[in-house]
Structure formats: C-alpha cells, structure tokens
Structure 1
Amino acid sequence: MEYYGLLGFGCEPFSNSPDPNFFYGAEGHLSCLHRLEIALRLRRGLNIVLGEVGLGKTTVCRQLLRSLHADAAVETHLLLDPSCQSQHELLCRLHELLCDQPPEAGASSWDIKEAIKHSLLTKAEDEILVALFIDEGQKLSAESLELLRELLNFETNTAKLLQIVIFAQPEFQDLLEQMKNVKDRINECIIISPLNLAETKKLVMHRMSCASIGGPTRAPRFSSGAFRELHRQSKGHPRQIITLCHKIMLGLIMQDRQSVSARLVKSCARSQGTSPHTLFKFCAGACAAALVVVSLFLPSVQKYTLPYAERMHAALAEHLTSKADTPPVTAPISTQAKESSDSALPMHPAENLLHDGLGTVQVPAGASLSKIMAGVYGRYTEDDLEKLLVANESLRSPSDLSPGQTVCFPPPQAYPSQKLPHRIWLEYARTGTLQSAYESLRTLGPEFRILVHSSRELGCCFSLVKRRAFLDIHNAENALHAPHGRTQRIAPLGLIDSGTRGMLFYGGLHFPATLHEQAEPNSDLTDASI
C-alpha cells in the first residue's frame, strides 16, 4: 500500500518529479510562459531563463513543451545536459536532434552545419517552427555558446530559422558578460523569483486538491501559522516547499492527524538531513509507542487497532526504503490481521507490481532510443525521456546509445482500469519480461506496441497489441473471430479490455493520452484496425 492512501490521496501529492498535471501557475511562472511563447511564435531567436536551484525552471520548460506539443506546426527538441568535451561533439548532438539522424561518419563541422541549415530551411518552407530547449545551461562552455550563436545566424529575410531557449542558473550571466556578441542577440532574459506567502499556500492547496480522492475537503488542513512557517523554512523555493511538504505528510501519518501546525513544520524542517532509515525507525517507534498507550488507557477509541498499526507500519516501510540499497522492511502480518485490515481500509483491486522498474532492454543494432521508447510506452515524449536518462547514468543524451547496451526502464506510472478511457485491444503475444516482449515487437513491426498490465489472477504481463484499439467490444470480437488471411502474419490470441475490474495498466506519463490518439475511429475491419 502506498503511504498517501492513508491520507485520502489517490496519488503522491508532493512528488519531486516535474509532473505537468500538478503544475501551479504562480504569477512569475505564468508571465515567463507567456513571454516565451510570444517570443517563439514571433521567431525572435535566443531567449534566456535564469533562476536559482529549485525555483521551477524545469517545470516551466516542461509546461511550455507540453503546450507546444499540441501544435502540429511546432517542432520541439530538448537537450537535457549540454556539457560536451568539444564544440564538435555538441554539433553532432544537435545534428541528431534537428535532422532526426546522426551525422555521417567523418563529416566535418562545416558539413554538419550545412546539413542543419538545409534541414531548417526545408522546415521553414513548410511553415514549421523549430524550437530547441536547453536545460542546465550553466554547463555550456564558451565555445558551445559560440556554436549556438552561429546557428542563430541561419535566418530568412523575416525570421530566425532556429529558436533557442536556455534555462540556466544565475552564474550563466558571468559567461554572457564575457561574450558580448551573444548577449546582444538575447531577445528575452527572464529571471524567475521565489514564491511569496500567498503563492506558497496556493501551490500546496493546488497539489493536494489534484491528488485528493475526495477533492479539497478531504485533504489535510494547514493552519495559517503552518503556511507562514513553511514559507519561512523554504524561502519560497518550490522544490523546497514540495520536499518539506512530503515530510509533513509522513509526519501526519506518524501522529495520525489531519491538521498541520507550525510546530510540525518546524520539526520536519529540522529532519531534512535525516536518513530514510533513521527517520523510519523514529516513525515506527513513535507509532508503536503511541498505539500501546492508546490501547492501554483509551480502549474506547476503536479505530487504533493492531491491523491498522501494522498496515501503517508496512506503508511507511515500503515508501521510506523504496530507494535504499537494502530490501524494504515490512511488519509481519498474520492472515487474520491482513483480512481485517483489508476490510477496514480498501486497497486497489490490483497491486502495483513494478515498483522496482519496468525492466531492461538490450539495444539492437540500428535502433534509436526514441523508437525503443515508442514501442514500450506507446509514444516518445520528453518527459519520459528525462526519467529514463535519470535511471541510466551512462546515458547523458539519446545520442550516447550504442548496440549491445542495456537500457533500464524506470518504474512506470500505474493506471487503474476505472481511470482510463474504455479501449479494447487484440492481443497477439504475451511474455513475462520487457526484454522478451521487445524482441517479439521487433519481429511484428511498427504497427504494434507493448501493453503492460497486471491483475491478481495473472500477475504482471507484457502483451503485444496493435497500436489501434477498438472503442466497441462487438467490433473487437468480430475482428478476433475474423478469418486469418494470408497477409496477416499472426492471428490474435484474445482481447484485453481496459474496463476489466481489478486490472492495472502501466505506461509513461502520457499513457492515457496515447489511448485517445490510438483509438480506431470506425468499425471497419481494415488491417489498420486489427
């Protein structure tokens, strides 16, 4: 069981991942988004966003990418880590991004620049806006920044061919001061500031409202003093606010409370440097002691039962030790106690079986990271790419991929069947690991994808399905029982229905969106629909 379920949340309210669904538009962030989008639409060239660590630069970047992604006339590219050993290395990485393929072996810098210019001109003729987003811009060297200046020289009589947005920490200004020829080309230089007290309160309330199963009324309550202390301790930095609020949620579980006081905020702020194991021991010990006292002196309070204590202990252990090197610590639960706790606190019909990761894929010759991710997640997105790069330290960018390399896919998002749009897939194969599923996918072709799902009866399954799903069960059944034609290399085995109770589906951050995109619009039994 996830810890946040004990507080009435359907998902983690204070995750440290930049989930666009939890974006809160503070005045400074919204102003930054609007100014950047206007600059991009007007094709003004170079734009800079500066801010200290944890002020929301990455969140703004992801939100802008998300809004532009819906526009077919805009092509966006994200460079997460621009640090390179040489200018030529960065040029090769940019060629792969902007030209959709690596440069030819032995190509000179001049050849690569000409290829990039030709690609940008072709896209400009098709009225496609090309935008390059660079995160961690303070890692750019002087020669890398000079290369970007040269690319900004590619222009028509009316507009720049390439739009560049650099997100960097304040020390990036020192490099800009040394390079006047770059500084003079900056269209917008936006500085992100910390949140004020009112914005801090709205950020916390917004995230709890998004995660709460029963809406804002069921979320934990912060006193006015708690919000003031939270703003004082975090100095208005969104990342610090989120990290501290995560600890506060654990504190609420420990004390079995629904209200947050200034004292609790101070206590959690002091434990910022505490290790997970130390914090877990403290929480578990305090919970056990409190429950013993209650059971001895307040027998009338029936809600503090032993199964509840064991359940809370297990939930805390699962969460606090999930990133530790040692196996999670869980309290032993007897069969009778487990049945009692299941009835007292309803759990998901299916348990998330992929906390440790989706699995690994060995890269075949000629494969690109974007194509592998599209097969596994249904489509390639920058958000999923960021999580993938974090999980693979040897991958600084998609261009670092090499044949035979093992790519680790991080724990995916889990989606209960009742929270997904109704879709029915024809299943053509089923395996027990991601590697074997990917090997089967390569033999079937690009019209197939991997669909990962689990249930209590079957466990975790990696199914091979057509990307196009059915909206109607009758059309899906007709396709299942249709004669197997000669052009069809493999016959379907059965159906997978997203409406089946008790099932969990796993995917990337945008998995529900792929279901809308990949739904079969009509009932014709064409090859595309089956």
Structure 2
Amino acid sequence: MDYYNILNFKKEPFSNSPEPEFLFQLPQQTSCLQKLELAVRLRRGINVVIGDIGTGKTTLCRKLIQNFSSISKDSAEIETHLLLDPAFNSVIEFLQTVAMMLGIKDLNNSESEWHLKEKIKNYLFDKGVDERRIVVLIIDEGQKIPENCLEILREFLNYETNNFKLLQIIIFAQKEFQTILKKRPNLFDRVNLLYRLQPLNFKQMRAMIDYRLSIARDNEITPSLFSFWGLIAIYIATGGYPRKVVILCHQIVLTMIIREKNKAGWFLVGSCINDMMTPSFRKLKWALTGVFIFVLVGLSIGTVMLHRQEAVEQKQLLVNSIMPVVSKVKQETPVSLSAGVKNIQKGNTQNVKMPEYLGNLTMTKRRTLWWTAYNIYGEVRPEIINALSIANPHIKNKNIIVEGEKISLPSIPAHIEPITDGDIIVAVESGKDLEIVYNIFQENSFRQKMPAVVFFSFWNKKDGINFAIVIDKCFKDIRAAQEVIGKLPPLAADKTKILSQWDANTVFFNRRKLQR
C-alpha cells in the first residue's frame, strides 16, 4: 500500500532501502564521508568503516558512491566499483569477480591466480598512471570476506607507484571484522582509516526522523507525526539504531492510518512494538513499561509542586496589568483580548454572530487540503473533512488540489479549549486576514528562525475573528514569556504581542493544546 500518498508524502519516508537522499548527515556521518573522500583523493590505500547491524553502513556506502559520481570535472576522475557480497568460495573466484568488475577483457575460466593478478595490476597501472584516474573498490558486508581473499587485498596494496597506491579499497563491515583484522597484523597495519559508527542519541534520532519526513514532503512545512513521548518510546525501543528506527516508524505510520490518528504518542508506539515483537524488539517491551511507570511517578510529584507554584503566580497575575512587550504595534492589529492591553470600542455586541467562514486560502504548489486543515483546525477528523467538502463543492478530488484554486475554511469551533484560564501566550504575528497570516506561517524562512509555532484562530463578540502565529507554549507569568521573546530575532521580537485574560465567550478553532 502506498501509504505515503495517503499522508500526502511525495515518496516513502521510512523505506528500508538504502536511499542516499534520506541519509541525515550528522557530525559522525559527515566526518566519515569527508575522511573517506580525502583518503581516496590522496590515494592512501585501504580504509575500513565498522558499525553494528543497523547503524547505517550501507546507506553511507551508497552516499559515498553518489558523492564520487558528482565530483567536479577539474579534479581527477574517480572510478568506483561496488562489491555487495564478498563471500567467495575460492581466491580464483574472487579475482575473476574483481577483474570482471573492472572491465578487464579476454578473461577465461582456465586462467591461473598469477595471470589474473597480473591483468588486474596492468589495468590499475594504465588507469592510475597513464589515464590519471582513481580506481576505488568498495566492499559492503566486509565481515564475510574469507581469510585467503583478505590476503589478496593485502597484495593489491602492493600495486603502487613511488607516490600513491593504484587501488583504493573501502570496506564497510560489522564489528567482528575488527577482530579479524587484528589477527592479520600485516594487513591491519596498512589500514589508513578505521572509523567506528555509533548509534544515534535521542536528539540525533529526532532530527533524523524530522529530516526524513521533510525530504518525503519535498521540504513542505508540516506538523510532526510524533509527539515528544512517542519519540521517547521510539528511542527506548530502538536504542538509536537507524535501521530499527526506520522499521518501527514505518509500522507506526501504518497503524496511524488504520486507526485514523494524526499523531503517534507513547501508547500508540507501544502497541506497535507489541505487534512487531521481533527478537530485536521483544526484550524492550518491559523496558518501556518500566520507564513509563518511572515517568508517571515523576509527573505526579512534579504536578503537586507545579500546582503550588501556579497558585503563587496566579495571585501575582491578578495584581499586575498586562501590557504589550513591544510598543511598536499597528493600531488595526489585535494585541490581546484583555482591556488592559488594548482599548476596545464599546458598543452593543449582544447581536453579533460568529461568521460562517474563517476566510479563504489560495492553494499553492506545495499545499494540500489535508495539511492545511490540520494547521487550521489542529486535527483532520471525518467531520472536519465533510464540512470542508460542503463548503467547497467545486473540489471533486480532495487528494488533488489545483494550484491557484481557492478554498473556503468554515468556522468549526473546537470541542476542547487549547488554553486554560489564566494562560499567557506569545503571538509572533497576528492579523484579521486569514490568507496574509497563514502565508507568513507557511514561509520556510520565517519558520526556520522561530521556535515551534502554531496557527491560532479565535473569535469573540468584541473583537471578531483574529488570526495569530503563536509560540507552542503556554506561560504562567509575564517574566517567562518575556524571556522567550528576548531570544527571538530582533525583527520578530518587535512584532510580538502577549495574549491573555481571555473573554469567557471566546471561541477557538484550533483543537491542538499548546505545550506547558
């Protein structure tokens, strides 16, 4: 099933194929690639990359080949040959395979080991000296190389000029290959680079998942599929091994589709681990349970302490009047629903009715109906999609929206309030025009400079409909809000507004609860 189409991905984000474009280059991957490329350019001979199963060796291998194929024309040409399975039955078979990969002609099955070596040596000399080309032999699954073939690799390193090796060898292998190498000191001593890949830490794993989702959506800005606790569960279950992360995330996305969920949390991830129950995941089930109990105890203690702190802060809020943090405020832009923040014109508002529509949006190339609905309403339930369909009868296929087409967004009140009484939130942009504020929300350059933000829309009889881009966090006091504002870029900080003291009749349209 092409589940990535259902979620409006352009390609599958969690494929188990080693696709180079999905390699998220963390410091260790970047360092490894740079060191390998430098070693090849300097023609240093043999280099080895060691890593546990699932640390991303094969993907790194494919990325390296891709890098070599895109090297600039003014540098020496690099000719790469990839050997996927080096488990040969004999030295002759190994030499014949290498000779065929190099493109050596006039080979026959009756040739001796010596003749094959000579042909390979002559070929490498012609390429390396006469044509000034760098020949690279890349071997994946290096732990499968028989000992007699390792001796052949050592002999290949003897093919050299006074200045450089004629054949560059890069081996990607599991950890046991290091033990094999140490048993052959005459080969181990010649290793130019021995690089060890490690599993990811939590921050790196989270960044890798976000990167894969971004690539799968052609860098379209969209909400994360995983909650913080969902990511914690993924990390505990996988230990940060990229392959396990990809396998588990694939299963989680399928489960989200089946259950019609738009976000994966702790329990959904836990159920996926239960369903998989492969040897690599089974032992982690109890670890997840133990951590969850620990977290519950910690949260219970923390909640008691937090309530005590909130009681003190709430008394302080009742005394202090809330003023805008920045004085540069456009008169037509709503700053707050509080009379202490903005003077509201008095008048008869009893007969003011909530409008049927929030407004209209013009669909751009990268926008989809599903993710637009998620951004506006905080979730994509069947009733929301049905309301959108009724409001936009011209849309025949909800999966295909023509660029430039206008859609109407009906006013669908949230069944929950995203904030509670006394909460303070920070708006980095706000206005009365849905399309203007939403276009800013969707800009890559805007989002990259900001902490996590949410598109926030609300209505009351006094101010009408307001749209804002707010930081995804509720604050309990002004000082905490001001600290966050102080960390924003200067141009963004100048536009911030504090929203607080909500009208009791305020209607919210985004169902997403802000973080605390």
Q: Deviations over 1:374-417 (max 9, x none)?
A: xxxxxxxxxxxxxxxxxxxxxxxxxxxxxxxxxxxxxxxxxxxx
- Quick check: 1:345 aligned with 2:399? yes
Counterpart amino acid of residue 41 in structure 1:
R
Corresponding residue of 1:467: none
> What does 1:426-445 align with in structure 2 at a 5 Å threshold?
none
Q: Which residue of 2 aligns with 1:205?
A: 210
- One-letter amino acid matched to 2:176: E
Check 1:225–1:67 CA distance in 2 against 1; reply closer, same or farther (3 A cut): same
Query: Do the aligned partners of residues 63 and 301 (structure 1) sit closer, same or farther apart at CA in structure 2, a change above 3 Å counting?
Result: closer
The answer for unaligned runs of 5 or more in structure 2 is: 279-380, 403-516
Flag the 1:111–1:184 CA change in 2: closer, same or farther, 3 A: same
> How much does 1:102 deviate?
6.4
Q: How does 1:347-386 map to 2 (within 5 A)?
A: none
Aligned 8 A contact 1:14 1:245 in 2 = yes
Deviation at 1:98, TM superposition (A): 2.0
Q: What CA distance in whole angstroms lies between the structure 2 residues aligned with 1:138 and 1:342?
A: 56
Q: Supply the distance in 1 between the matched residues of 2:174 and 2:382 (Cα, whole angstroms).
A: 53
Contact 2:104/2:120 (CA < 8 Å) preserved in 1? no
Cross-structure match for 1:56: 56
How do 1:396-411 and structure 2 match up within 5 A?
none
1:250–1:341 CA distance, 2 compared to 1 (3 A): farther
| Secondary structure at the counterpart of residue 260 of structure 1 | coil
Aligned partner letter, 1:62: R
Contact 1:7 1:220 in 2 (8 A): no
Contact kept, 8 Å, 1:201 with 1:227, in 2: the verdict is yes
Q: Measure the CA separation in 1 of the matches of 2:5 and 2:197.
A: 34
CA–CA separation in structure 1 for the residues paired with 2:82 and 2:101: 8
Q: Distance in 1 between matches of 2:207 and 2:83?
A: 31
For residue 155 of structure 2, the aligned residue among 137, 150, 153 is: 150
Tell me if 1:251 matches 2:267.
no
User: Quick check: 2:395–2:401 contact (8 Å CA) kept in 1?
Assistant: no
Match of 1:188 in 2: 193
SS at match of 1:47: strand
Size of the aligned set, in residue pairs, is 290
Query: In the alignment, is the contact (CA less than 8 A) between 1:75 and 1:131 conserved in 2?
Result: yes
Partner of 2:136: 131
Structure 2 CA distance for aligned equivalents of residues 4 and 230 of structure 1: 20
Q: Does 1:164 align with 2:164?
A: no
Distance between the aligned counterparts of 2:236 and 2:85, measured in 1? 32
2:79 equivalent in structure 1: 75
* Amino acid paired to 1:216: I
For 1:160-309, list aligned pairs within 5 A.
160-212=165-217, 215-217=220-222, 219-273=223-277, 302=383
Task: Report what 1:318 is aligned to.
Answer: none
1:269 & 1:237 partners in 2: Cα distance?
Answer: 15
Contact conserved, 1:225 with 1:262, CA < 8 A, in 2?
Answer: yes
User: What SS does the corresponding residue of 1:221 show, helix, strand or coil?
Assistant: coil
Change (3 A) 1:25 1:161: same
In angstroms, what is the RMSD of aligned CA positions? 2.5
- CA distance in structure 2 between the aligned counterparts of 1:342 and 1:172, rounded to whole angstroms: 58
* 1:47 maps onto 2:51 in alignment: no
Secondary structure in structure 2 of the residue aligned to 1:191: strand
**Shift in Å, 1:54:** 0.7
Whichever residue aligns with residue 346 of structure 1, its letter is I
Structure 1 pair 195–154 and aligned structure 2 pair: CA distance change class (3 A): same
Cα contact 1:233–1:269 (8 A) shared by 2? yes
What's 1:11 paired with? 11
CA distance in 2, matches of 1:301, 1:58: 41
Classify 1:213/1:47 alpha carbon distance in 2 versus 1 (closer, same or farther; 3 Å).
Answer: closer
Instruction: For residues 288-311 of structure 1, give each alpha carbon's deviation from its aligned partner in whole angstroms, at most 9, with x where no partner exists.
Output: xxxxxxxxxxxx954588xx9xxx
The residue type paired with residue 140 of structure 1 is: I
Alpha carbons of 1:304 and 1:271: their partners in 2 closer, same or farther (altered >3 Å)? farther
Q: Secondary structure at the match of 1:43?
A: coil
Detail structure 1 runs of 4+ shifted over 3 Å in the superposition: 99-102, 300-305, 344-348
Query: Which residue of the partner structure matches residue 110 of structure 1?
Result: 114
1:97 to 85, 94, 101: 101
Distance 1:270 1:83 in 2: 36
Secondary structure at the counterpart of residue 397 of structure 2: helix
CA contact 1:45–1:187 (8 Å) conserved in 2: yes
- The answer to whether the 8 A contact 2:104-2:123 is kept is no
2:435 paired residue number: none
Shift in Å, 1:101: 3.8
Residue 412 of structure 2: aligned partner: none
Q: Distance in 1 between matches of 2:110 and 2:219?
A: 60
Cα distance, 1:52 vs. partner?
Answer: 0.7
Report the alpha carbon displacement of residue 221 of structure 1 after superposing the two structures with TM: 3.1
- 2:255 and 2:266 mapped to 1: Cα distance? 12
Preserved contact between residue 50 and residue 197 of structure 2 (Cα < 8 Å): yes
* Residue 213 (structure 1) shift: 5.8
Q: Secondary structure at the match of 2:138?
A: strand
TM superposition score normalised by structure 2: 0.53
In structure 1, the gaps of 5 or more residues are 275-299, 309-339, 349-530
Q: Give 1:104 shift.
A: 3.0
Q: Corresponding residue for 1:517?
A: none
The structure with more radius of gyration: 2
Residue 20 of structure 1 aligns with which residue? 20
Secondary structure at the counterpart of residue 130 of structure 1: strand
Equivalent-residue separation in structure 2 for 1:214 and 1:166 (angstroms): 33
Deviation per CA, 1:79-104: give whole Å up to 9, x if none. Answer: 00001110111011011112444623
1:343 Cα shift? 2.8
